[in-house]
Structure 1
Amino acid sequence: MKDYLITEIVQGMLPYLDNAQLMRLREKLTECLSNKVVTDGSMVDNDTGTSNDEFVEMFIAAKKVEGCSERTLKYYQSTIVKALET
């Protein structure tokens, strides 16, 4: 899955980068994703084991502590979930 993701990104950058830059991009992506688990729907950081859903929950909890209204919290939650689905 990581190789597929890296290939998709590199192919998307083909019109903008020369061959040397594309090779460097591929190397950097491989390096950055080496400690990540990439699945079809989300990416989990192997260092912490935290998924996107857990990050959303932590964000919403932090906003609740800050005093945001329930309406605002629901808006944040739905907006973030929609963004992660794309």
Structure 2
Amino acid sequence: MTTRNYYSPEQKAAIAALHWDEKQTLSQISRENKISISAVRRWVREYSPAVNNNGEKITKKTVSELEARIAELEQDNQ
């Protein structure tokens, strides 16, 4: 029986940052951290930074969370 590792959003972002900050390949990250390559690929996609209009770095995950919050507030307003 294998045990499942759980990673916090901060840990996922740090592991994903190895790809864009340190230019490591997905397979390198997967092998060195003993995480499946599909999980690493998903985290890189979810936590890849983008720059908003204020010059702040945000991730797709943050955008999704904000969109959900907006939808919730719009529902409350109706």
**Pair in the same fold by TM > 0.5:** no
Q: Of the two, which has the highest radius of gyration?
A: 1
When normalised by structure 2's length, the TM-score is 0.29
Greater helix share, structure number: 1
TM-score by length of 1: 0.27
